[in-house]
């Protein structure tokens, strides 16, 4: 297995030249463009890694699946999906256009920015600090890593540059989709995007979902139903407007982030974390996507 992973990482490093590192915040631009690595943990506890698996980067949009799990635990499935849909958009992750033009008057799904901001507004707590702390504690629990924390330089950058997200937040407040304080929802969203992880952290969270919401200790944290909802949305919406193509080519429920991470779940088999900060035009790790496609065909990991 180790030889296979080394071979696939080596093969796909060349692809990193064809992408670009996210630069909307100067801090993100510091990532090494040709970095590429992955970490795998199977359900028997075997761990395999290759390349830059221990480089720290921000979780970004991958956090959207974590907030979704906690929002459903806090509010129930019915309430959550009365405010946010379950359909892919076919549009970029930060698109505004369907918010007003569509007859449904709610964000299409929880994994686009508009949907994720609405989901962030649903986290329970006595104030914004407590709400984010509950989210961070939940992430630490499901990744079995107490050291996870926010990169405050990136958080400041997210907040300073996040005017498009702010516009969507205020629109959602006007429509009654966000019921609480809109600035609180945005603050939670900017902070959740700024949590630092490694490919290993992503593999741990993916393993938790591969085990239908069970930790390695046997503790059940979310219901199998919540795990199923999250994995299904990862297939249909997790790679944004590349989700269809990625489902055909790799067939692994996955969620990407502009920090360069991809979290991939092979149900009942393994959790995979990938890091490659050079991104394609849609905001997915350019070499990470190809690495997962290769891995899927070598190990026959497609769920279809």
> Which chain residues interact with ligand DON by CB under 6 A?
60-61, 93-94, 113, 158, 165, 193, 256-258, 283
Q: What does the alpha-carbon distance between residue 255 and residue 10 come to, in Å, rounded to a whole number?
A: 23
Residue 113 known to bind ligand:
yes
User: At 239, is the secondary structure helix, strand, or coil?
Assistant: coil
Catalytic residue, chosen from 9, 21, 39, 64, is: 64
Residue 275, annotated as binding a ligand: no
Alpha carbon of 217 to those of 45, 221, 270: distances in Å? Answer: 11, 11, 16
* 44 annotated to a ligand binding site: no
Q: Which is nearer to ligand DON, 80 or 258 (CB)?
A: 258
Bridge partners, residue 150, by sequence: 195
In whole angstroms, how close is the CB of 217 to ligand DON at the nearest point?
Answer: 30
Residue pair 201/39 in contact (Cβ under 8 Å)? The answer is no
Answer for the pair 291, 55: CB distance below 8 angstroms, yes or no.
no
Cβ 302 to ligand DON shortest distance, Å: 22
Catalytic residue among 61, 121, 194, 296: 61
Nearer to ligand DON, 15 or 158 (CB): 158
Instruction: Let me know if 258 is a catalytic residue.
Output: yes
What radius of gyration do the chain's Cα atoms show? 18
To the query of whether residue 235 is one of the catalytic residues in this protein, the response is: no
**Residue 102 is among the residues annotated as catalytic for this protein:** no
- Of 71 and 262, which has the nearer Cβ to ligand DON? 262
CB of 46 to ligand DON, least distance (A): 29
| Closest alpha carbon to 56 in 189, 231, 197, 165 | 197
Q: Does 300 carry a binding-site annotation?
A: no
Contact indicator for 93, 168 with CB cutoff of 8 Å = no
Catalytic residue among 108, 155, 189, 275: 189
Rounded to the nearest 5°, which phi and psi values hold at 221? -105, -35
Q: Both tokens of residue 255?
A: 């969620």
Backbone angles phi, psi at 210, to 5 degrees: -60, -30
- Active-site choice (191, 240, 256, 278): 240
Active site includes 240?
A: yes
CB of 166 to ligand DON, least distance (A): 10
Residues tagged in the binding site annotation: 61, 113, 158, 165, 189, 240, 258
- The residues annotated as belonging to the active site are 61, 64, 189, 240, 258
Binding-site annotation, residues for substrate:
61, 113, 158, 165, 189, 240, 258
């Amino acid at each position: 297995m180790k030889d296979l992973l080394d071979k696939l990482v080596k093969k796909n490093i060349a692809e990193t030249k064809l992408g670009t590192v996210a630069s909307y915040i100067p801090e993100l631009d510091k990532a090494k463009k040709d970095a590429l690595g992955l970490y795998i943990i199977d359900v028997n506890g075997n761990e395999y890694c290759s390349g830059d698996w221990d480089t720290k980067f921000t979780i970004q949009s991958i956090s959207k699946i974590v907030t979704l799990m906690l929002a459903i635990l806090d509010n129930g499935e019915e309430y959550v999906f009365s405010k946010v849909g379950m359909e892919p958009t076919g549009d970029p992750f930060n698109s505004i256009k369907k918010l007003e033009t569509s007859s449904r008057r709610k964000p299409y799904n929880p994994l686009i920015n508009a949907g994720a901001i609405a989901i962030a507004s649903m986290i329970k707590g006595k104030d914004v600090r407590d709400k984010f702390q509950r989210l961070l504690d939940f992430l630490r629990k499901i990744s079995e890593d107490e050291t996870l924390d926010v990169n405050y330089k990136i958080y400041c950058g997210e907040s300073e540059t996040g005017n498009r997200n702010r516009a969507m937040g205020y629109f959602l407040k006007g429509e009654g989709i966000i019921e609480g304080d809109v600035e609180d929802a945005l603050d939670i969203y900017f902070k959740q995007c700024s949590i630092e992880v490694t490919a290993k952290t992503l593999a741990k969270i993916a393993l938790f979902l591969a085990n239908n919401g069970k930790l390695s200790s046997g503790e059940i944290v979310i219901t199998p139903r919540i795990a199923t909802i999250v994995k299904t949305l990862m297939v249909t919406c997790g790679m944004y407007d590349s989700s269809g193509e990625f489902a055909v080519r790799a067939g692994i429920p996955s969620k990407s982030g502009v920090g360069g991470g991809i979290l991939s779940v092979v149900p009942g088999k393994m959790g995979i974390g990938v890091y490659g900060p050079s991104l394609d035009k849609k905001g997915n790790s350019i070499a990470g996507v190809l690495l997962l496609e290769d891995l899927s065909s070598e190990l026959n990991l497609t769920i279809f």
